[in-house]
Structure 1
């Protein structure tokens, strides 16, 4: 799947969409922490719009390229962790935890099981 142009387009679009979604979900905890929750929600919804403009085509391209629904979801989760860890460390200033490694290893197992029959 990843050897095709459509497979790489899917991964690239999911990566970009996750950057937007991570900021929509968690960025307000730092950047808008003094604002009312509903202001943070409106700004987050605005950011999330860009996530959907990338995520929907990514899933359509990927599904058309032969990804199963489960493969799309696991790919999404791996990308989510790959985006979340640097965001957490560098933008939010959270400490590096060994739990990130364990979560990544669990996701690698999920990738193996979901893609092994492909």
Structure 2
């Protein structure tokens, strides 16, 4: 249940940060507002010149891209977890294991250095 809540909240917030029409929330709508103003020759605060306007627009697109990537990572983790959950519920063997312990000062650590 907590995982479901985290997924719903995270993906909803990500979607809103990407596509919300309110410029105070959505990255893309904020970038569009600044791009439209720049096209009309207007400078919006906090920018004081055209270069800063372009920087704000670029930052909004970078933020939107990172948000989308993080959402894809969350979805990929969900799909991976669902695959394991289905196998467990069907009583199929799930090969889960960790790497063997390697002591920091031991001889085994030299192999990885």
User: TM-score under structure 1 normalisation?
Assistant: 0.38
Higher helix proportion, which one?
1
Does 1 or 2 have the higher relative contact order (CA < 8 Å, sep 6+)? 1
